[in-house]
Each structure stands twice: as structure tokens, then as C-alpha cells.
Structure 1
């Protein structure tokens, strides 16, 4: 591993750290160390990083701002590439927006609203980056990324770049082709927005943000929604009907505010969260006959 670290540092790709705790990089504040942690400072540095990693034949994965992510207590083998401030550029041409994958989706939504552009109101209050949102088709309040994205710039495992259209992203509920068929890193995304009234747009965003603040436990570390909604049911409602709100295992606790959130109530381990997820799955299947699937991505050494 020393050789790859030295080569990455000599290539000046950005921040390179060894045995970096992923608890520092996830919104639930849980996760063991990454063997090597890299935060590239540009798209070119990202490409160079992947070239070096591939040359050495080590495992890798990309992360954004760490929401919707549960990293195991044993950490992650190989390299973790964080898509952060080095890829947070933005270019606006009329109503066409191209933005780097490292950009905060909350910050972007606020800036776009101030310009009187509509389309990202749904994302008000959603934690995470543009890259993560595009990767998993993030959404809320009846809309999602697939409604406004026109194309996404992807760096694939073989080192090639490609722009994928909305149709080629094969979007469905919280899913894209990047999860199903063609693993890759979102580098940039282009959105088609519409002109609107600044006051109306801001009012919708304020309402969405207040709803999240009043119904979701962002005062404690959490990963966001734990389960996919097993439509026509809703995960949070099933948890509540089953009397599971407030149930805890170790430092992990089902939120009293929202049944589909597990919070880090104090020094929780990933195993606590995993045990609590399994407990919920078994209880809801026993009571309601519904099989729950996780929305949060679970990664690392198990």
C-alpha cells in the first residue's frame, strides 16, 4: 500500500490519507478506516487517481458527502475516493445548469432559487452531493433527479468518460444504471430548469425545508431514510404501526420523530445499526407480511 500512496502523492492528485476513519465522512458518524483515502482536487486528478488505483489492482469505491451510507466497523479495503470540493464547479447558461458532482445539493438549490429558476425545489433540505443524488435518483415531495436531469458525465471503471442521457441512466425509484449494470463515478450533471417567480420558488423551498425539520431527526447523526418504501405502504408508517419507534440496540435508535430513520444516539457502531435493521425487517414481516429492503447503502468489510 505504501507504493500506491507514494505514487498518488507524487502525482499531486489532492488529499491522500492512510487509515482515515470513515466516521469523519458519513452523516451518521459511523465507519471504520479506509486503507487509502483520496479527495481529488479536479476531474483530471480524479482520472489520474483511478489510473493509479487500477494499475496497482486494488479495490476502490467512490463516496460523496456520506449521506445514505453505512460503513462497517472494520472499514473499507482498498481505496476510497471522495468526490468533494475539487469537483464543485457550476456553470449556468440560461436555464441549462451544469454542475460538478461534489457540489452540495442544498447549496445549489438555494442559489438556483435566488436566480428565479425552478426544478430543484424538491431537494431543499436533502443532505449530500449532486453526484450522490444523480447516482441514486434522490427525490422528495413528489419529484426527483430524473425529472430535471438531461445528462450525466460518468467516469467508468476502465478510465473512460461518457455522457449518459436521462434515458441511458435508466432511472427508477432511488436507482440508476450505475447501481445495476454499469458502475461508475458521477463527475458532472446537466439539468434543465425553468424560469419561475423567485418568491414562489423560495416559498416552496421554505415549506419543504420546514417539513423536513419538523418530521426528520437531523439534530442527531443519521444516514437518511433506512428503508425503501414498500409501496403502497410507507416504511416509516409500518415501523410506527409496529410500535418500534424509539427501540434501540447499542447506540443505534429508531427515531421518535420518524420511523424510517435510525439515529446515532451515542457512540453507535455499524453493527448496532445492522442489528437494528434486521430486527425491524423481522418484526414488520411477522406483523404485516411485508419484506423491507434497505435504501441506505451498506459497504465495507463485514
Structure 2
């Protein structure tokens, strides 16, 4: 299959048996069969059409900030959207391709004195991933500002969906069910005071640095917020701050995060997540629900 891919998908950047731990925020993850970096939509569609034709599984990963890739890696194609990263401003609207860096997109908004995107100024990840999971922080979320998204269906068709068609929920969207991928997203913002916008972004960035363990590899916020509670507080009350399995531990700085402190593995993450869910349920009667996505094959 390697030769067929090289002959058919000519001039597309495709790497074989690539370790995904080199691309994830957790610094864990086994090898992927074919890692593709399309430069434009034409190349992306060619990859998807080829994969469908050859019945090879495929998936798109943003910049892998809220996922754990298992140690056995991923079969088939993983498509990285890094090179589809243009950001354009028209009036009070920003349109960004799926591979655009979310933090950079908020900075472009601030540069044009556009308000409404400040909440996302410290969220790592891509625009496509942010739409996929309705990313949010500090009372704001993507659903509040999204106008529409261009998507690629699993069969390779391009469609435009209005925000309401994406059926946004807390850290969820219809994209998590229908297998479509984001190509670009359009956001409606409001004119604002440049200095005030920058100050708010600095305030939120300072809060994030103060509270979150940004000095270690992590998968971001591990659990969804339980109704009427905070996951980090429940984990702390269960006495789990600093609890370690293998090389991964519950952060001493913020118990809602798990950090890779000593060459941990994806299995360490999974085991620690399971242990935390079980211990918190025993302690408080509340069952935590995972926010982080776990992908690929385990070695077990």
C-alpha cells in the first residue's frame, strides 16, 4: 500500500509509521500508518477520496491538545490540518481555516479591535478542533460567536452548515457523531476598544498561567464540569492531588489536569483517569465524565 500511496498521492507530504507522540500535547502516542499534511483543500479531498476508495480508515487531528493517542498508535491515515491555516477579517467577521491556531485567531481579532473572542485567548488547539468540541473558557464558548462552518462529509463532499445545524452542547457538537470535519469557520464579533480587549486577554492569560500546569505536557482539562460542581475540586476533596500512576500524575497546581512528569505513557493516562473516576465516585457519589478524547489502539 505504501507504494500505491506514493504513486497516487504524489507531491502530498505523507509520512509513514510516524510516532504520534511527537505531535501531541501529552507527548504520548504510538505510530500512525500514514500521517498526511495537505497544503490545501484539493490535497485534503484527494487523500479522503483515496482512503475511501481503498477502504482505509482516516481521521483528522487538529493540533492534538485535548486528546490522548494510545500507545498502539492509529491505523490508516491521520490528517493534520496545520497547513490550512489562513485567517481573514471582513468587517466584524473573522473566517479561519481549520488548521489555524485558535490563540493566534484571537490575537488577529484583538489587532482589529474586535471583541467576543477574548475567552479563547489561552486555549491551545486549532480552530477546527475548537468547533468540533465547542471549546470554551471563562464563560465563553465557540457556539456564542460562530456563524457557520464549512465541512467535509465522510464521503468527501463540501457543505456549509449554520451554527444552529451544528447542535452545540457543552463541549459537544454534531460533528462528534456524523464524522464530518471542519474546513473553515466564520465568527461574528463586535467592534470594541483595542486597549480594553488586550487588557481582558492579558487578565485571562494571567489567570490561566496562575491556575494551570502549563509547564508540563498535558491533555488539557480531563473531565467535563459536573452539574453544580467543579471536577478539580471533587478530585482534590477525594485526596488525589499529586496521585501518580507511572509517569502521569494529577497536577498539584490544578487537580482537573493530568500532567506527564516522567515519560508517561497513554496507558498511564488511561489508568489514572479510571482510578480518579472510581475514587471520586466512591468519595462524593458523583461520576466524572471524560472531556478528553482517547484514540487509537492500546498495546494490551
TM-score range, shorter chain: over 0.9
Aligned residue in 2 for 1:202: 198
Shift of 1:8: 4.9
CA contact (8 A) 1:154 1:162 kept: yes
Give the Cα separation in 1 of the matches to 2:291 and 2:133.
9
Shift of 1:91: 1.7
Say which of 251, 256, 266 aligns to 2:262: 266
Summarize deviations over 1:42-78 as a string: whole Å, max 9, x none: 0111111101111110111110111001000000011
For structure 2, list consecutive stretches of 5 or more residues without a partner in the other structure.
none
Summarize deviations over 1:133-180 as a string: whole Å, max 9, x none: 011000001010000000000001111011110100000000000113
Aligned residue in 2 for 1:100: 97
Shift of 1:4: 4.3
SS at match of 1:107: helix
- Aligned positions of 1:161-176 closer than 5 A: 161-176=158-173
Say which of 97, 101, 116 aligns to 1:119: 116
Q: TM-score, normalised by structure 1?
A: 0.97
Give the Cα separation in 2 of the matches to 1:4 and 1:199.
55
Give the Cα separation in 2 of the matches to 1:135 and 1:9.
27
Aligned residue in 2 for 1:89: 86
The 1:8/1:208 distance shift into structure 2, 3 A limit, reads farther
The 1:44/1:243 distance shift into structure 2, 3 A limit, reads same
Q: TM-score, normalised by structure 2?
A: 0.97
Shift of 1:5: 2.6
Shift of 1:9: 4.0
Aligned residue in 1 for 2:252: 256
SS at match of 1:277: helix
Aligned residue in 1 for 2:153: 156
Give the Cα separation in 2 of the matches to 1:20 and 1:227.
29
Give the Cα separation in 1 of the matches to 2:7 and 2:283.
55
The 1:8/1:105 distance shift into structure 2, 3 A limit, reads farther
1:35 counterpart = 2:33? yes
Give the Cα separation in 2 of the matches to 1:241 and 1:259.
10
CA contact (8 A) 1:95 1:192 kept: yes
Say which of 244, 261, 281 aligns to 1:285: 281
CA contact (8 A) 2:93 2:189 kept: yes
SS at match of 1:168: helix
For structure 1, list consecutive stretches of 5 or more residues without a partner in the other structure.
none
Say which of 16, 23, 26 aligns to 2:24: 26
